[in-house]
């Protein structure tokens, strides 16, 4: 019913817009010519209606808009400046290759919650300088050293999974990815690990809510969500500062493999070390960026595999033989069909030529992963779940964009891929996953990521069960 109402409103708005558009077209054209701004077409519905439609059913709204207006269209969202949504690889390439002073990551909804030194709060030189410090620990080849930690965390969590009854895998996957990041990235052990394990689930949950409702990101008194978040943040800072202190005093720091140890040894261009505030903000950024996204993709993997028994059987056989090429292709196919981050954004800081259009400063450009990933021009039979399409072939940088791209591409892509590979391999070896006949799970927005609406339901039996 909600969908029908929203579709109705969208259609009504489009009709009203068309009528109004006829009358204002000449005036608009004059204004456009005079400012040298050329915007792609798009609906003129109230921002609230468009925002609601995108938030609740963007998987249908985005492709419908693309069919109606083309590979770039202008839209409006509540609390955001006007947006241009893009779903053409050539335009995507122009966006990802733009200079950082022309297109900013700017005013990310996460930045207020993550702190002023977070990657999501920075632009241009400061962003690039932090990125230069953070990239080496996430280099693809280093990832092998984290596999044992991930497998240990996966086995520990999976030992508690119930047999013979349906259960949601998203929460267990969140525990695996949280513990994996706390150990591999924060280098946390003992009391700090326990303290962060207790604090962070509540803190990231409240943080996601605050991101969804920016009006709550201010101090409205002792019991307000923002003050509660600030208290949690202070507790987080204390725990991470203890880890930093311990690291600085550790005589074996150079031999440690965790990301914190590498950050403690990294230096800015002028030779100065990272400050405590930079490290605490960056570690929280890595956790928030990497924890729910990876868990959501893993929950979607369970949801997809149960509905594609032939793919599942092939993966089980491959895992038993020690192979991994088909699993790697499967992870890419899950991310194509169920990208947890559905759009990557950039703010226009200086007039920007996007194909035939010229966008003025203040506009936001969103790369629509969901639309491109389901476009038959780029992926044959796009609605089919077929990992074979990526077997022995890497996806195109400007068509397959679950990790964004360019100078802000996800730093943790190799970490996430390795982690999903190890967790899936462990799950396939440990359990028989029963196929499902129910309808696919819907997409549910959690403030940062879209995850399966029923949490990626699983039904398992331990292998060797009689």
Considering only residues 174, 274, 341, 436, which one is a binding residue for ligand HEM as defined by CB under 6 A?
341
Contact between 285 and ligand HEM by CB under 6 A: the answer reads: yes
Considering only residues 40, 89, 105, 247, which one is a binding residue for ligand HEM as defined by CB under 6 A?
105
Give the CA count within 13 Å in the CB-facing half-sphere of 135: 10
Listed ranges 4-12, 17-25, 281-289, 374-382: which one lies at the site for ligand HEM (CB under 6 A): 281-289
Under 8 Å between Cβ of 63 and 27: no
Neighbours of 306 (CB within 10 A): 21
Q: Classify strands 364-368 and 450-452 as parallel, antiparallel or unpaired.
A: unpaired
Considering only residues 188, 410, 422, 436, which one is a binding residue for ligand HEM as defined by CB under 6 A?
410
Least distance (Å) from ligand HEM to the CB of residue 119? 4
Residue in this structure with the two tokens 């938030």, named with its chain if needed: 55
Q: For residue 100, with 0-12 CB atoms within 10 Å meaning exposed, 13-18 middle and 19 or more buried, which class applies?
A: middle
Residue 109 to residues 210, 314, 364, Cα–Cα distance (Å): 9, 41, 13
Least distance (Å) from ligand HEM to the CB of residue 179? 13
Contact between 409 and ligand HEM by CB under 6 A: the answer reads: yes
168/460 Cα distance (integer angstroms): 11
For ligand HEM, the closer of residues 10 and 331 by Cβ is 331
Helices (H) and strands (E) in the chain, counts: 15, 13
For ligand HEM, the closer of residues 175 and 409 by Cβ is 409
Least distance (Å) from ligand HEM to the CB of residue 105? 6
Least distance (Å) from ligand HEM to the CB of residue 317? 25
For ligand HEM, the closer of residues 405 and 452 by Cβ is 405
| Eight-class DSSP state of 87 | -
Residue 393's DSSP bridge partners are none
| Eight-class DSSP state of 216 | G
Contact between 371 and ligand HEM by CB under 6 A: the answer reads: no
Contact between 289 and ligand HEM by CB under 6 A: the answer reads: yes
101/103 Cα distance (integer angstroms): 6
Q: For residue 360, with 0-12 CB atoms within 10 Å meaning exposed, 13-18 middle and 19 or more buried, which class applies?
A: middle
Binding mask 126-165 for ligand HEM (x = CB under 6 A): -----x----------------------------------
230/232 Cα distance (integer angstroms): 5
Under 8 Å between Cβ of 368 and 62: yes
Considering only residues 42, 115, 195, 405, which one is a binding residue for ligand HEM as defined by CB under 6 A?
405
For ligand HEM, the closer of residues 247 and 405 by Cβ is 405
Binding mask 231-260 for ligand HEM (x = CB under 6 A): ------------------------------
Contact between 111 and ligand HEM by CB under 6 A: the answer reads: no
Considering only residues 66, 74, 208, 293, which one is a binding residue for ligand HEM as defined by CB under 6 A?
293
Least distance (Å) from ligand HEM to the CB of residue 20? 35
Q: For residue 52, with 0-12 CB atoms within 10 Å meaning exposed, 13-18 middle and 19 or more buried, which class applies?
A: buried
Contact between 286 and ligand HEM by CB under 6 A: the answer reads: yes
For ligand HEM, the closer of residues 315 and 369 by Cβ is 369
Neighbours of 36 (CB within 10 A): 9
Interacting residues toward ligand HEM by CB under 6 A: 105, 119, 131, 181, 185, 285-286, 289-290, 293-294, 297, 340-341, 344, 402-405, 408-412, 415-416
């Amino acid at each position: 019913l909600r969908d029908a109402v929203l579709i109705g409103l969208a259609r009504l708005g489009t009709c009203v817009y068309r009528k109004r558009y006829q009358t204002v077209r000449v005036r608009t054209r004059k204004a456009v010519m005079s400012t040298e701004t050329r915007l792609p077409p798009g609906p003129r519905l109230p921002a609230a209606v468009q925002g609601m439609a995108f938030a609740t059913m963007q998987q249908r709204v985005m492709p419908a808009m693309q069919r109606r207006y083309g590979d770039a269209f202008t839209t409006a969202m509540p609390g955001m400046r006007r947006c241009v949504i893009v779903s053409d690889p050539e335009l995507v390439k122009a966006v990802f290759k733009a200079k950082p002073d022309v297109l900013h990551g700017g005013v990310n909804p996460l930045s207020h919650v993550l702190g002023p030194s977070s990657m999501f709060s920075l632009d241009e030189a400061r962003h690039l300088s932090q990125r230069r410090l953070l990239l080496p620990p996430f280099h693809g080849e280093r990832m092998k050293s984290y596999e044992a930690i991930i497998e240990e965390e996966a086995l520990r969590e999976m030992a508690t999974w119930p047999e013979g009854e349906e259960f949601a895998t998203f929460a267990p996957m969140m525990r695996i990815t949280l513990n994996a990041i706390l150990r591999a990235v924060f280098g946390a052990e003992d009391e700090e690990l326990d303290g962060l394990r207790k604090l962070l689930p509540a803190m990231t949950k409240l943080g996601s809510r605050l991101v969804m409702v920016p009006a709550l990101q201010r101090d409205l008194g002792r019991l307000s969500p923002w003050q509660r978040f600030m208290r949690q943040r202070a507790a987080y800072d204390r725990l991470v500062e203890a880890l930093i202190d311990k690291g600085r005093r550790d005589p074996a720091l150079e031999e440690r493999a965790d990301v914190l140890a590498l950050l403690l040894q990294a230096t800015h261009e002028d030779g100065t070390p990272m400050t405590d505030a930079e490290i605490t903000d960056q570690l929280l950024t890595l956790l928030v960026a990497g924890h729910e996204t990876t868990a959501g993709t893993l929950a979607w993997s369970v949801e997809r595999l149960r509905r594609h028994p032939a793919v599942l059987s092939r993966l089980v056989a491959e895992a038993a033989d020690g192979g991994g090429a088909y699993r790697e292709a499967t992870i890419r196919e899950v991310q194509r069909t169920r990208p947890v981050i559905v759009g990557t954004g950039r703010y226009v800081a200086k007039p920007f030529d996007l194909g035939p259009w010229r966008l003025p400063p203040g506009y936001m450009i969103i790369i629509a992963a969901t639309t491109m990933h389901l476009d038959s021009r780029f992926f044959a039979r796009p609605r089919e779940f077929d990992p074979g399409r990526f077997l022995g072939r890497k996806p195109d940088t400007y068509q397959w964009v679950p990790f964004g791209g360019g100078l802000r591409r996800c730093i943790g892509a190799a970490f996430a891929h390795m982690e999903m590979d190890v967790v899936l391999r462990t799950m396939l070896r440990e359990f028989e996953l029963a196929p499902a006949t129910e309808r696919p799970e819907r997409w549910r927005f959690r403030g940062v990521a879209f995850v399966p609406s029923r949490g990626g339901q699983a039904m398992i039996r331990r292998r060797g069960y009689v």
